[in-house]
Amino acid sequence: MKKVLTVYKNIGETPLECLERIRSERQELVKERLSYAGRLDPMAEGVMLILVGDENKEREKYLGLDKEYRVTILFGMETDTYDVLGLVTSKLVISKLEKSQIQKTLGEFKGKIMQKYPPYSSRTVNGKPLFVWAREGRIHEIEIPEHEIEIYSIEINNFEEIQTQELKKIIDEKLSKVHGDFRQEEIKKDWNDLFAHTKNESWQTVTITVYCSSGAYMRSIAHEVGQKLRVGAIALHIVRTRIGETGL
């Protein structure tokens, strides 16, 4: 039996739900100790490693592997989670961005940089995960920690516009796949209100490939790109395409 399984985590699944799905699909794993090495947010999909049995003792080795992602950034709005699974905190009326503007801004992320953890993440501060502080409306009471990451390369794959009705369809579909308590009903209402009142006929997006060290948050990169361009942005799609030497 393989001690390291390469699996595909679907949109909407938590890493634990993905792990339990794999366990249920493969009877030989029913009695084995399983864990995942490197989590993915519910709105992200892609490669995930599952460690089997004694390989769990080597977990730290797998957690430190470099990663590659394909990320679609949506401009013109912000959410409190920096992705689709969040409440809309601002919508900005913006002039059209030029590809050269985005390319220049992305270049600022190359190399070793300090990145703050997203407010909705599992990083613990004073014994409590950041997402708990955020849900309680007390995130302003603490200083969000940051950590060093390295972006080896960040390249534009596609730069295009998406029509409002198509964007609404994409977001509705993504939210419908999430289970558990992630404020879905409140978030769906928020998005519906935005689309009901927006005057935007289309929205700009850019799809990028990011090759980076372990620990880099794609949601934060999307948010920070929007901040630097002063237009706001969220991660619309996140696909992890590679962990170490293992890829799609």
Distance CA 136, CA 129 (A): 11
Q: Name the strand (E) or helix (H) holding 215.
A: none
Distance CA 131, CA 113 (A): 23
Predicted model pTM = 0.95
At the fourth CATH level, the homologous superfamily of domain 67-247 is: Pseudouridine synthase (3.30.2350.10)
Type of residue at 234: I
Residue position matching structure tokens 């985005």: 102
The catalytic site residues sit at 41
Distance CA 26, CA 113 (A): 41
Each of the 248 residues of the chain gets a pLDDT tens digit; together they read 789 999 999 999 999 999 999 999 998 898 899 999 989 999 999 999 999 999 999 999 999 999 999 999 999 999 999 999 999 998 876 678 999 999 999 999 999 999 999 999 999 999 999 999 999 999 999 999 999 999 999 999 999 999 999 999 999 999 999 998 999 999 999 999 999 988 888 999 999 999 999 999 999 999 999 999 999 999 999 999 999 998 87
Alpha carbon distance, N-terminus to C-terminus of the chain: 21
Angle formed by the axes of helices 99-107 and 218-229, nearest 10° = 120
Distance CA 66, CA 181 (A): 31
Distance CA 20, CA 18 (A): 5
Task: Give one DSSP letter per residue of 131-144, joined into a string.
Answer: HHHHHTT-GGGSPP
DSSP 141: G
Distance CA 203, CA 222 (A): 15
Pairing, β 233-243 against β 44-52? parallel
Distance CA 35, CA 80 (A): 29
- The domains of the chain are located at 4-63, 67-247
Q: Are 83 and 222 in contact (CB under 8 A)?
A: yes
- Token pair of 91 as six digits: 């919508």
180 burial level (CB within 10 Å; 0-12, 13-18, 19+): exposed
Distance CA 235, CA 85 (A): 10
